[in-house]
Amino acid sequence: MFRSHVLVCGGTGCTSSGSAQIIESLEKEIKKHCLDKEVCVVKTGCHGLCALGPIVIVYPEGAFYSMVSVDDVPEIVAEHLVKGRIVTRLLYQETVKEDGFTPIVDTDFYRKQHRVALRNCGVINPENIEEYIGTRGYEALGKVLKEMTPDDVIQLILDSGLRGRGGAGFPTGLKWKFASGNRGNVQKYVCCNADEGDPGAFMDRSVLEGDPHVVLEAMTIAGYAIGASQGYIYVRAEYPIAVERLNIAIGQAREYGLLGKNIFDSGFDFDIELRLGAGAFVCGEETALMTSIEGNRGEPRPRPPFPAVKGLFESPTILNNVETWANIPQIILNGPEWFASMGTEKSKGTKVFALGGKINNTGLVEIPMGTTLRTVIEEIGGGIPNGKKFKAAQTGGPSGGCIPAEHFDVEIDYDNLIAIGSMMGSGGLIVMDEDNCMVDIAKFFLEFTVDESCGKCTPCRIGTKRMWEILDKITKGKGTLEDLDKLEELAYYIKDNALCGLGQTAPNPVLSTLRYFRDEYVAHVVDKKCPAGVCKDLLSFKIDPEKCKGCTKCAKNCPVGAISGEKKEAHEIDTSKCIKCGVCYDNCKFDAIYKV
């Protein structure tokens, strides 16, 4: 029995910042002070507050140490673990109080959250099945196999109102019901979509890294419900930590008899294998994913027939993403009414978002459906840095749209986001401020889609390329007002005629920015100016002679020697040489350099 547990984040973000070395140093220092029988170091998954990593939490006190380095370890051990003195300078500032500190759960970042899918992330060691079992892990599977019929399970998921967390929000129970016929007479499959590809999205990765067994348990439950004996997790190879922990979890589950033959002596057989994806965004589309698992190039198939009828290896198949699976065991244990009590009338439960961009508290958050965008950004996210104004939020990645300030109080759920021209998607939420150019943002996401198109259908392969060319023309100051009409016409044609969801939603960033930020498009076309000062071809830098102190810093840092002037005298920029890199603008301490 240990008196203290030291939890260290072992997610990708903190690992990249040196948390593995911190764990090694902690274990060495603890042994040095002869505390190895009293203090346990636990490598966990992501705690959520990625902006402050590496994160170390010491229990039972609950001291939340942020931005910890290896050099801080000796002090944490000597002061906190040996002498019982909290190292105040390392505490997350919001937890510091005059009379000590407050638990991390009482801070703005965590207080408005409600963790269901993320309940074990940052809490347990994901490489130890016994820690998962200690949090009621695999209890839901035991309940299902011992007390419920397959139809009971499907009805419970239907009653909960759970909708797929990977895209359009199709009812999960309904998908399972479609695939449930002819149990025992035909081969069926259960698939997990862990091919998270949206720029800025890392929700599924964090669940796999922090709580891999929850996905295995949920998929096994689904296998029982529809009559499948084999499952596949399709995970991108760029997630090495997630892949490693999934392999460990699968091995442990098999060893404990929780995967394989005759699970819980019920006569039910189910096993799971991993398939690594090569990073193709189109393989996030269910039929393309299944084609890839089969060993073929990942391209979507026409629907119908839908995968529930004819999916993987032409057999009935259900596919859900990681976050959807992570909800299943808790719904089984707590009941459908518990889950349905959270969220809104048509969007039940919680939703995980990867909060990024121009936001103070970059990280992973899980909120009840119906929480407003304002709450997420201003309270949980800590607002926009440097006193800048909120301009827009991009949800749904390349398939989503931009939510402007006029909808800052929108309640986030599936239907509300679609109504204002965006979508939930898998859960990326990128915040933009007044320095972002919305035309450039639309161009960025469309360029991503052009690169990731599988090329199978003409509307996506050719149409998105033509749209990007028009946007590129506009950002270079060569666009016309007629181009805006062409953009819209092309966008709606692609939406109506593309083969799969990637192509059908690719125009969304363009349509939403045209809808809410048309004045910026017009400024690029008519005035030949980028209001945000982002598009280089419409931008030039000038030096205000009244403000310039002649410090020479701009001239010394200019990579092409475009700035000249004597020391302590006003400098000038030769626009014929200037490559508009902005180094001078970023480095001027006197605000003497401005954009025109």
| Residue 531 token pair | 């209001």
State the pLDDT at residue 368. 97
The letter for the amino acid at 510 is V
Is residue 57 located within the same domain as residue 140?
no
**Nearest to residue 216, comparing CAs of 141, 166, 143?**
141
Say whether both 58 and 38 belong to one domain: yes
pLDDT at 279: 85
Over residues 336-373, the pLDDT tens digits come to 999 999 999 999 999 999 999 999 999 999 999 999 99
pLDDT at 99 over 80: no
Q: Is residue 532 part of a domain?
A: no
- 478 and 498 in a single domain? The answer is yes
Q: What is the C-alpha to C-alpha distance for residues 47 and 131, in angstroms, rounded to an integer?
A: 16
Q: Assign 411 to helix, strand or coil.
A: strand
Are 84 and 135 within one domain? no
Predicted pLDDT at 593: 93
Whichever domain contains 553, its CATH number is 3.30.70.20
Three-class SS of 34-99: CCCCCEEEEEECCCCCHHHCCCEEEECCCEEECCCCHHHHHHHHHHHHHCCCCCHHHECHHHEECC
Amino acid making up residue 35: L
Q: Is the pTM of this model over 0.95?
A: no
Q: What's the CATH number where 200 sits?
A: 3.40.50.11540
- One domain, residues 315 and 204: yes
Considering the domain architecture, whether residues 289 and 382 belong to the same structural domain is answered as no
Report the distance separating Cα 363 and Cα 13, nearest Å: 10
> Which span out of 180-189, 254-263, 580-589 was modeled with the highest average pLDDT?
254-263
Let me know if residue 121 belongs to a domain: no
Judge whether 128 and 5 are in contact, CB under 8 Å: no
Residues 278, 384, single domain; the answer is: no
Q: Is 392 strand, coil or helix?
A: strand
Q: Are residues 166 and 292 in the same domain?
A: yes
For the chain, how many structural domains are there in total?
5
* Same domain for 326 and 298: yes
Q: What is the C-alpha to C-alpha distance for residues 230 and 336, in angstroms, rounded to an integer? A: 26
Last residue of a domain, one of 372, 406, 433: 433
Q: Which CATH number covers residue 100? A: 3.40.30.10
Residue 466 belongs to a domain: yes
Q: Which domain holds residue 461?
A: 438-527
Nearest to 509 by CA among 400, 583, 417: 400
Across the chain, what does the average pLDDT equal? 94
When pLDDT is cut at 50, 70 and 90, the band that residue 199 belongs to is: confident
**196 and 150 together in one domain:** yes
Dist. CA 153–CA 144, nearest whole Å: 7
Query: Which amino acid is present at 349?
Result: G
Domain match, 292 and 183 both:
yes
- pLDDT 10s digits, 376-389: 999 999 999 999 99
Within 13 A of 392's CA, how many CA atoms are on the CB side? Answer: 23
445 shares its domain with 480 = yes
Residue 102 is assigned to a structural domain of this protein: yes
CA distance 153 to 332: 8
